[in-house]
């Protein structure tokens, strides 16, 4: 398995785990009450920070156990990466547009921050899934 594919797996698992932890903590804090009044900023920052650190640590560990040959990348890796980014960009734009609409409607900061975070997550998840699918199933023509 190419290092890029392993990196896609790591990113996918770490982002989903971080978001699941974030959701669990925020929902437990809300305890059925009003979500916008629930403290969320610290958890959001901690889970994003922890996800970045975890992804770096895991990729270093994976890299140690990957052969030198496995670290090499070429034009196919770049094409797969570009195709995956192209595929997932829609979620990023949708998240940003939703945040813009929420801001125009003067909704609570909670919803603006969370719709952006959800957009980032869905974009990252789709990008990871697309990369893995392209590495495993092959790269179809446009």
Confirm if 48 and 18 have CB atoms less than 8 A apart: yes
37 lies in the binding site for another protein (CB under 8 A)? no
Q: How far is the CB of 92 from another protein (least distance, A)?
A: 20
78 lies in the binding site for another protein (CB under 8 A)? no
76 lies in the binding site for another protein (CB under 8 A)? yes
Question: Which of 37/72 has CB closer to another protein?
Answer: 72
CA angle in degrees (0–180, nearest 5) for 55-109-27: 60
Confirm if 62 and 6 have CB atoms less than 8 A apart: yes
- In angstroms, the CA 22 to CA 39 distance is 11
Distances (CA, A) of 7 to 17, 19, 55: 15, 18, 8
Of the candidate spans 32-40, 53-61, 71-79, 118-126, the one that interacts with another protein by CB under 8 A turns out to be 71-79
82 lies in the binding site for another protein (CB under 8 A)? no
Question: Which of 77/85 has CB closer to another protein?
Answer: 77
Near another protein by CB under 8 A: residue from 60, 64, 75, 104: 75
32 lies in the binding site for another protein (CB under 8 A)? no
Please report where in the chains the tokens 């958890």 appear, as a residue.
43
Of the candidate spans 27-35, 74-82, 92-100, 117-125, the one that interacts with another protein by CB under 8 A turns out to be 74-82
Longest dimension (CA), the chain: 54
Query: In which element (H, E) is residue 42 found?
Result: helix 41-64
Binding site for another protein (CB under 8 A): 2, 69, 72-77, 137-142
């Amino acid at each position: 398995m190419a290092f890029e594919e392993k990196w896609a797996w790591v990113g996918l698992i770490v982002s989903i785990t971080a978001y699941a932890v974030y959701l669990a903590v925020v929902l437990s804090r809300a305890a059925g009450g009003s979500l916008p009044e629930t403290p969320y900023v610290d958890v959001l920052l901690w889970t994003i920070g922890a996800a970045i650190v975890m992804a770096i640590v895991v990729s270093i560990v994976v890299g140690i156990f990957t052969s030198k040959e496995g670290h090499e990348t070429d034009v196919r890796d770049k094409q797969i990466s570009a195709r995956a980014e192209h595929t997932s960009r829609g979620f990023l734009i949708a998240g940003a547009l939703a945040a813009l609409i929420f801001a125009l409607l003067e909704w609570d900061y909670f919803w603006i921050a969370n719709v952006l975070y959800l957009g980032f997550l869905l974009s990252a998840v789709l990008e990871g899934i697309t990369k893995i699918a392209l590495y495993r199933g092959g790269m179809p023509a446009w």
